[in-house]
Amino acid sequence: MYKHVYKPTFDGTVCLVRGYADQATCEQLTEWAQSARRAQFVPGISRDRDGRIHRVTTRLTNRMSHYIQYPKLVYDFQRRIRDDFRLATAPWIHGHGRDGVVVSITDDGGDVYAHRDPPVARGFSALRCNILASQAESGGLVHVANGTYELAAGDLMAYLVTDHTHSVDQCFGSLPRIMFMFGFEVLAEDWVAARHVPDLSVNPSGAQSEAHCEPKATIQDFQQARKKPSHAEEVSS
C-alpha cells in the first residue's frame, strides 16, 4: 500500500510527504473515483471574476453527496494517517463527505478558487491530509498562504484549511486531478509546533524533540468544544 521512502518536510504551514502512496494504490484510488463519479459525485462550485458563485462540471466533489460508499482502502489510509500524524484523539470533520473524507475530481479546465474552509468546533482548526491519487497532465499547482506546491501522484500535503487561504490552478489534459482529503479537527498551536508532523528527527541527546511531543488537545476538549459546523461555502481542493 505504501513505502516509507521520503522524509516529511514542514515549512510551518504545510507538511509535504513525497511518495506517501505507491503507484498501485494511486491506481486503485483513481479507479474507484472514476467508477463512482456518476453516482456518488456532484458538480463543484467556482467563483467568477465578479465574485459570483456558480456550479461547474469541470470539477466534481462528493463533499455534499449522501451516496458515498468508500472502499476499505480509504479507511486503511485514514487509520494510517491517524497513526503517522498522531491524530488518535482528533475527531474527523463532520458534515463534509463521509467519515471525514472528501474526494474531488478535477477535469480539463477545472480549478479551485482561493478560499478558506468553513469553521469547525470552537477553538479548533480543520486539518486536511490530502493525497493526490491522479495528477493532471499540466497545471494544478497548489497555493497555500504565500507558498506554491507542485504535487505528483502519491504525494501527501497537510495544512490547516480553515486558517490559510488556498487554491489550485487550472488543470489541463485528458487525465483528471483526483484528490483524497482526510479531515480532522486539531488545535492550531499543535500544528504550528509540529506536534502532528510525522517522523521528524530526534535530537542527539535521545530526548524527544518538540515535534515528537504529544498534542495538547484531548478527546474531552473536542467534546466540550463541539458545535454544529456552519454551512459556509462548499469547496474542496
Between residues 106 and 224, which one has the greater pLDDT? Answer: 106
Give me the mean pLDDT over the 172-200 stretch.
Answer: 93
Q: Which residues lie across from 209 on neighbouring strands?
A: none
Q: Is residue 4 part of a domain?
A: no
Contacts of 75 (CB under 8 A, 6+ apart): 99
Q: Is residue 232 part of a domain?
A: no
Structural domain range at position 154 = 9-45+52-195+208-225
| All three cell numbers of 69 | 460508499
Q: Is residue 235 part of a domain?
A: no
Distance CA 59, CA 174 (A): 13
Query: Strand pairing of 15-17 and 9-10?
Result: antiparallel
CATH for 215: 2.60.120.620
Q: What is the pTM of this model?
A: 0.86
pLDDT for 219:
53
Q: Is residue 113 part of a domain?
A: yes
Query: Of the given ranges (7-21, 138-152, 209-223), which has the lowest mean pLDDT?
Result: 209-223
Q: Is residue 230 part of a domain?
A: no
Q: Is residue 236 part of a domain?
A: no
Q: Is residue 234 part of a domain?
A: no
| All three cell numbers of 25 | 494504490
Torsion of CA 180, 229, 116, 232, to 10 degrees: 110
Q: 1 near 25, Cβ under 8 Å?
A: yes
Q: Is residue 145 part of a domain?
A: yes
Number of domains in the chain: 1
Give me the mean pLDDT over the 98-122 stretch.
Answer: 95
- List pLDDT tens digits, range 211-223: 456 777 665 565 5
**209: pLDDT confidence band, cut at 50, 70 and 90?**
very low
Q: 102 near 181, Cβ under 8 Å?
A: yes
